[in-house]
């Protein structure tokens, strides 16, 4: 299965808009949304209301049995995350990293590590598509592990698919690293602003560490032609394929708000994305 990952250095660049257009243009059977903090690809790919749900348990959390605890303080001394309240001998689940050291040092055997639900995996599957996604529970960590589960679910459920589109998460953190791992190509959607260029450079450097194919496109290029030129120049200097630019398009906003993709209608942003799609696919398959 050839996996194409769509990324941006930050949120709001149009990454999901491009991903949903690619899914439509490729008539993709397999696709996934790895933005588990704020998934929204399901909103623009018309999914059924009834996905198959599976609870996701991330790292366990420590729990102190107050009846057994002798208040010796050893667990507090050893917890590197300051997750145990000194006055009440209670574990703060948001701060606990589940390392288990407190349990190991507790002389009273008062600490247990409990599995805690950290999110939910969702699978939308029918004859024409397999869509894997997830939603992390507020305040939960282990985002990277959940992203890995999303990709694994997609691959397991669409073993026969030769191609998959993955909508990545913004930034360069753990979930992004997990989404890049194992993909065949990364398409970066950049924004022509000073911060957008800086974010693009950071995500390119991150993706380069994985030695995967990388291509770059710009969204809303006409909002700053000077910066768009800088992005194109950067790609030229870094020997990276620059696969095109999408204009700002008020029609695109209206279309997305209706739950459609920009290639569902005849509009200037849709035409630009179609060209980018053709170039990207050529690079992916070469
Ligand atoms: S190490 Fe065990 S007994 Fe000591 S304070 Fe912590 S929970 Fe209580
Ligand atoms: S499991 Fe680790 S992080 Fe959690 S309370 Fe115990 S020592 Fe601290």
The domains of the chain are located at 2-57+127-285, 61-114
**Structure-block tokens of residue 126:** 């029918």
Q: From the CB of 92, is ligand 2 less than 6 Å away?
A: no
The pLDDT of residue 43 is: 81
Better-scored residue on pLDDT, 137 or 241? 241
Backbone angles phi, psi at 32, to 5 degrees: -145, 155
Q: How far is the CA of 74 from the centre of ligand 1 (A)?
A: 6
Provide the CATH number for the domain formed by 61-114 in this structure. Answer: 3.30.70.20
d(CA 193, CA 203): 15
Ligand 1 atom 2: residue of nearest CA: 106
Ligand 1 atom 8: residue of nearest CA: 69
Q: What is the DSSP letter of 186?
A: E
Q: What is the DSSP letter of 137?
A: P
Find the helix or strand (DSSP H, E) in which 271 lies: helix 268-285
Alpha helices in 89-161, H assignment, sequence order = 101-105, 143-157
Q: What is the DSSP letter of 128?
A: S
Query: Which tens digits make up the pLDDT trace of 111-165?
Result: 999 998 889 999 999 889 999 999 988 777 668 889 999 999 999 999 999 999 9
The pLDDT of residue 182 is: 92
CB 254 within 8 A of CB 267: no
d(CA 34, CA 44): 15
Q: How many helices (H) and strands (E) does the chain have?
A: 9, 13
Torsion of CA 204, 247, 24, 1, to 10 degrees: -20
Provide the CATH number for the domain formed by 2-57+127-285 in this structure. Answer: 3.40.50.300
**Residue from 73, 98, 106 to probe ligand 2 pocket by mutation (most atoms less than 8 Å from CB):** 98
């Amino acid at each position: 299965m050839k996996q194409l990952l769509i990324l941006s250095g930050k949120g709001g660049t149009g990454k999901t808009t491009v991903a949903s257009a690619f899914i439509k243009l490729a008539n993709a059977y397999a696709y996934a949304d790895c933005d588990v903090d704020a998934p929204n690809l399901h909103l623009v790919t018309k999914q059924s209301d009834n996905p198959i749900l599976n609870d996701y348990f991330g790292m366990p959390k420590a729990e102190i049995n107050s009846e057994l605890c002798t208040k010796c303080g050893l667990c507090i001394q050893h917890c590197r995350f300051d997750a145990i309240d000194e006055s009440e001998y209670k574990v703060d689940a948001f701060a606990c990293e589940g390392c288990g050291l407190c349990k190991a040092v507790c002389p009273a055997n008062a600490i247990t590590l409990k599995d805690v639900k950290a999110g939910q995996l969702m699978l939308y599957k029918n004859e024409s598509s397999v869509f894997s996604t997830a939603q992390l529970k507020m305040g939960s960590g282990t985002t990277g592990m959940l992203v890995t589960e999303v990709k694994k679910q997609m691959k397991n459920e669409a073993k026969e698919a030769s191609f998959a589109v993955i909508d990545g998460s913004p930034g360069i953190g753990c979930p992004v690293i997990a989404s890049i791992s194992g993909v065949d190509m990364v398409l970066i959607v950049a924004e022509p602003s000073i911060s957008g260029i800086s974010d693009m450079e950071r995500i390119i450097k991150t993706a380069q560490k994985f030695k995967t194919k990388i291509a770059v496109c710009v969204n809303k290029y006409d909002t700053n032609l000077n910066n768009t030129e800088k992005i194109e120049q950067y790609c030229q200097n870094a020997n990276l394929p620059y696969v095109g630019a999408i204009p700002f398009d008020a029609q695109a906003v209206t279309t997305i708000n209706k739950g459609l993709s920009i290639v569902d209608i005849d509009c200037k942003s849709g035409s630009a994305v179609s060209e980018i799609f053709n170039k990207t696919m050529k690079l992916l398959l070469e």
